Structure 1
Amino acid sequence: MADDKAETEQKQQPKKQGLHGWKAAAAVFGCGTLAAFGVFGAVVGLGGVVISSFSSGVSSSQEAPVLHQEPSPVSELDPGELDLCGRHVMAVYMGSDTSYSSGNYEDPALEGEFEDRIVRDSCEWEVRLQQNLLNPVDFTYSYESVISTSDVAGAGEVASVLYEETVEGFPRDGTELLESGESDVGDRSYFFYGRNSGGGYTYSLVGQTHTSVYVIEYITGDEGRVVTSESLANEARRVMDHTERAFTALVPE
């Protein structure tokens, strides 16, 4: 009986489970392969970071910054070349017209005078503003560019005096001044804004760029609504976008 009971208990004890033969080999091979791939992946990942960092450094060092340079001024201005009204100012509202003549253009070099040379012009049109396309307004653009002078003070000083004298001439008679002050266009500028005798608004901007002095002016009619100084200042900036580079490029230093 005792032998039968021992034999029965021996049969009931579970056998230890394990991997033998090809299964054990496969398991060992699989674990080793996964471990190898893990190490390989880490090495590749680290190498990628290093290569990426190196490439970024090379790329950033090779990329040259984009510089928006102003055009360099010419050494000499040909007679009649600084004709801004038809070539630049008209382009803002109606497209360029190189055949346009205001009838006011003056350039002493056209008569052979180069020593004391101030180029002048004044042009005016009825234009429609960006924020008010229905009602036209009177627009005037005038400028004086000191190209050369026999004055010992030099062209820059002559232009500065001209700017100050022009500012002193505003506001014009019949204008009820509402706002005035320095503006942000050109090398320096000053604006005047007010009600005109016709019941509308007048905006006048006097500016200086290098040795050029200019006046941009808008006169609106009685439209029954307010035309703000800000909207008219934005119109003046549009004009300056077309003329500023011309002054910089064409007027010799």
Structure 2
Amino acid sequence: MSANNSVQEPKPGVRGWRAFFLVFGCGTLAAFVAMGSIIGLARFIFAGVSAESEPIGTFSRAPRESTKAGVLDVCGKGVESSGMLSNPVRKDADEPPVDSATASPSERPRTVRDACAWKVVGADGSNQTLTLDYRAVMSDSGDKSKLEIAESDIRDKKMDIARDLDRIVDDSQPRGMSTDEAYSVFGTSSDDPDVLTYVMIGRVKSAVFTVRLEGASPQDGNLEEKKNSYSGMVRRVMPYIKSDFERIVPD
């Protein structure tokens, strides 16, 4: 058979309407894949930014209506277990808090009281004494709410604090304590003028507390540096004190 009469075989490949739909389908699929990648990347970046902007340890809880006896123990479970004190040595009798729910069941309002003290090492290596005492009002009385009683308590403590110091170097509202109310004074002890004393009075919900840090007066007379050092130590333990009151004292 001659070359002119031979039947030519079709070239490999897809043509016509099949080729059109094949190209159109591949292009559409590629577009969807690209768009999905962009959306996924955007979600990843947004999630990362949201996680960074949210404070660590934030949580929500239901309002606390009551607290069982023996649950609130700020001295033992709050301060001592915080790990924020340098070489703490307990100086008090380490007795459990006094809860009127068990000590005087008929008493109103119900209160929880405690006081504790530690010998600690300050930032400058000197020996210091840290004390904590508190009174948490756990229920309303017949004519006053928990909060009204606590607000009266903190007013009384502010009036008493001036009698504890012989010379007040500074009195102010301390920063960074995150309490509902706070007041602090710094000066020399009325019992011994060579002893420096930093006292902070605070309120969290219906609990009122006093934190006191005492140590020897510096030989160089740098009271400002000492004040910053004392307030810094109290500030380190405050989150643990606040957390116990905030979680356990009824709303």
Structure-2 change in CA distance of 1:201 and 1:73 (3 Å): farther
Structure-2 change in CA distance of 1:119 and 1:95 (3 Å): farther
Return the TM-score normalized by structure 2.
Answer: 0.70
Deviation at 1:71, TM superposition (A): 5.2
Preserved CA contact (<8 Å) 2:88 2:121? no
2:40 to 45, 52, 55: 55
Partner of 2:118: 125
Deviation at 1:58, TM superposition (A): 4.1
Partner of 2:203: 208
Structure-2 change in CA distance of 1:71 and 1:183 (3 Å): farther
Deviation at 1:183, TM superposition (A): 1.7
Which digits, 9 at most, give the CA deviation of each residue in 1:120-156, with x for residues without a partner?
Answer: 1111121112x12x32112110111000132423101
Structure-2 change in CA distance of 1:47 and 1:124 (3 Å): same
Structure-2 change in CA distance of 1:76 and 1:173 (3 Å): closer
SS in 2 for 1:195: strand
Unaligned runs of 5+ in 2: 1-27
How many equivalent pairs are there?
A: 207
Partner of 2:75: 85
Preserved CA contact (<8 Å) 2:101 2:111? no
Deviation at 1:47, TM superposition (A): 8.0
Q: Following superposition of structure 1 onto structure 2, how do residues 42-191 of structure 1 map, counting pairs within 5 Å?
A: 50-59=35-44, 65=51, 66=54, 68-69=58-59, 72=62, 74-91=64-81, 92-93=84-85, 102-103=94-95, 105-111=97-103, 112-113=105-106, 115-129=108-122, 131-132=123-124, 134-184=125-175, 185=177, 186-191=179-184
Q: Aligned partners of 1:72, 1:217: CA distance in 2, in Å?
A: 33
1:193 aligns with 2:177: no
Structure-2 change in CA distance of 1:248 and 1:73 (3 Å): farther
Structure-2 change in CA distance of 1:160 and 1:114 (3 Å): same
SS in 1 for 2:101: helix
Q: Aligned partners of 1:95, 1:75: CA distance in 2, in Å?
A: 37
RMSD: 3.2
Structure-2 change in CA distance of 1:61 and 1:173 (3 Å): closer
Q: Percent identity?
A: 20
Return the TM-score normalized by structure 1.
Answer: 0.70
Amino acid in the other structure paired with 2:80: M
Q: Aligned partners of 1:234, 1:156: CA distance in 2, in Å?
A: 28
Preserved CA contact (<8 Å) 1:108 1:119? yes
SS in 2 for 1:144: strand
Deviation at 1:80, TM superposition (A): 1.9
Preserved CA contact (<8 Å) 1:80 1:109? no
Unaligned runs of 5+ in 1: 1-42
Which protein has the larger Cα radius of gyration, Structure 1 or Structure 2?
1
Preserved CA contact (<8 Å) 2:87 2:120? no
1:224 to 219, 223, 234: 219
Which digits, 9 at most, give the CA deviation of each residue in 1:165-224, with x for residues without a partner?
Answer: 111111234421011111232111000011233413110000001111010001112442
Partner of 2:5: none
Structure-2 change in CA distance of 1:70 and 1:124 (3 Å): farther
Preserved CA contact (<8 Å) 1:175 1:202? no
Deviation at 1:50, TM superposition (A): 4.2
SS in 2 for 1:168: helix
Deviation at 1:96, TM superposition (A): 10
SS in 1 for 2:162: coil
Partner of 2:11: none
Deviation at 1:106, TM superposition (A): 1.6
